[in-house]
Chains A and B, each alone.
Chain A
């Protein structure tokens, strides 16, 4: 019994402990490596999902509104090199005319606002076309009908150009993850 206790108290040799620790360390390092890699992949994937979803939302809403727009106000450049980052067109969905929707980039956000125009001498601020000529002595005043709201984020660049078709390019970016989307939209009402 004493011998047995003695044997039990004997403990591990230094070599045994060292070897065990070394093996354990290697195994844990390997597990950590796999975990770290997976976590990074997960984070990248999560970023991609986020920017993809932002891209989808922006394109979905923009495409639908341009398709049904009644008039394109922004004069778009023909080539992509001269593309603009903002677009304004007349809303084709509301029953009342002369509501103008504007999409623009502000920082890494794409925003949408609705504006209207009226003559400075009109106290009722009746909306008129964007190119209406005001009576002598008056001017055309812009008023915000719906304040700018964020439609999508993580936007690196938003570009509009085209002649018959409206071409849109959208570059999204989040923590070194990039997504480039582009589409051509055919306005059905102009």
Chain B
């Protein structure tokens, strides 16, 4: 009996120990289960996200490389409402459905939905929506500085010029001298295209302590490319091959100034004048309105008269007007001289047959002072800039102030900019047969905007009668969003 009682102690202890172990294992089991459920839910969530992203990327890949998708995305008229979809089934009951719906040609929304079926009839899902577009190809090979003359040299001296988001294209020799600094920068938004290159059909000469900083230099005498040279446009420039420099010659885009065609700038200015779509306001130095005009087309003396009447320090404002079908276009059948301390503000586009001089002279019949030109872009689809059949000169008396031009500066001859002691900023592009700059080491900043260049050259969002350039091979992701 005594022995029996002593054995009982062992049983009690064993039960106690087992009980505690049971308790501990229950603890362990409980938090292992919870953690395991959380972790697998997390894993499934990550999986669905990446599958949806993969679906988006496959759709973008198809838009670039699948011939059927590539064509149908941009081919009119069906591209305006084009739809397509595909489904990918993976192991483990996992599916990704991708669909694309165009809102207009070359612009659509891709929706990728990935689902994973889980135990107990549950599913995990993730949706990624992306808006994509292909923009139209560039008219100037993505160059906001485009000097298209096969003869005549372009020169930059004693200047600082920064070109952003685009290339510098010179169709002949390009000289940089007198401690100048010229830089061209890539556009980080277009991953597939490497801008920021100096493309020179002739010789590129950098002398007298000057520097040319570019992502790549491609000239008759120099062929420098960076190791990361992206050859998306290899067919055009073949710049990655040493033998392929210099770049092919490109003629400058032509503008229909005054043909009989109803789409020429002058015909449209005539229509705008008939429909009362032009409005000019002149204010004197005190801000008082001294003149108004509804004309669109002027002789050089008529336009000179407007500038004279605003007086020294006055501002002549060419306003933007549109009735939906016709837009204000101002056309001078001759040259323009901005002198004697005047400010010219162009909201939209001003064209001239003759030479445009901005601040070449200080004195004008007793008036004197600095002259300023401002160009404002009225919005998408409308042309903006200053365009001439002859030369454009920015002289010494246009200096000492900020000049902002959001538009195209176009000359069928030469553009000459002398002395820029304050910042000179151009958003759009400068197109001329020849380009020369002497800025006294002030900054001329030029930002590429292909839309502004196209609208300026075409006079609107589409070319007059002609065919539009092909769409760019780049698919731009405009907006990305996720949901469950």
Contact = CB atoms under 8 A, between A and B. Distances in A.
B13 A68 contact: no
B45 A60 contact: yes
A56 B42 contact: yes
Interface stretch (A41-49, A114-122, A125-133, A173-181): A41-49
A60 B43 CA distance: 12
Given A53-B38, A64-B482, 19 more contacts: A34-B20, A38-B24, A38-B27, A42-B27, A42-B28, A45-B31, A49-B31, A49-B35, A56-B38, A56-B42, A67-B480, A70-B479, A92-B479, A93-B481, A93-B483, A188-B477, A188-B480, A189-B478, A189-B479
B403 to A, nearest CB: 21
Interface in A63-111: 64, 67-68, 70, 92-93
Nearest to B27: A42
B34 interface: yes
Contacts of B8: none
Greatest chain A CB density within 10 A among B9, B45, B482 is at: B482
20 contacts: A24-B9, A31-B20, A34-B20, A35-B24, A42-B28, A42-B31, A49-B34, A56-B38, A60-B45, A64-B482, A67-B480, A67-B482, A68-B480, A68-B481, A92-B479, A93-B482, A93-B483, A188-B130, A188-B477, A189-B480
A68 B482 CA distance: 7
A184 interface: no
Interface of A: 8, 20, 24, 27, 31, 34-35, 38, 42, 45-46, 49, 53, 56, 60, 64, 67-68, 70, 92-93, 164, 188-189
A189 B128 CA distance: 13
A177 B420 CA distance: 62
A24 B479 contact: no
Interface of B: 1, 9, 13, 16-17, 20, 24, 27-28, 31, 34-35, 38, 42, 45, 130, 188, 477-483
B480 A164 contact: no
A64 B53 CA distance: 12
A164 B188 CA distance: 10
Contacts, number: 48
B111 to A, nearest CB: 14
A56 to B, nearest CB: 6
A27 B27 CA distance: 22
A93 B130 CA distance: 11
A64 to B, nearest CB: 5
A93 B24 CA distance: 47
B287 to A, nearest CB: 15
A20 B480 CA distance: 74
A64 B484 CA distance: 11
Nearest to B41: A56
Contacts of A68: 480-482
A53 B17 CA distance: 33
A92 B35 CA distance: 32
Which 8 pairs of residues, A with B, have the shortest CB-CB distance? A188-B480, A68-B481, A38-B24, A42-B27, A93-B481, A49-B35, A64-B482, A68-B480
Contact of B31 (A46, A56, A64): A46
Nearest to A65: B482
A189 B482 CA distance: 12
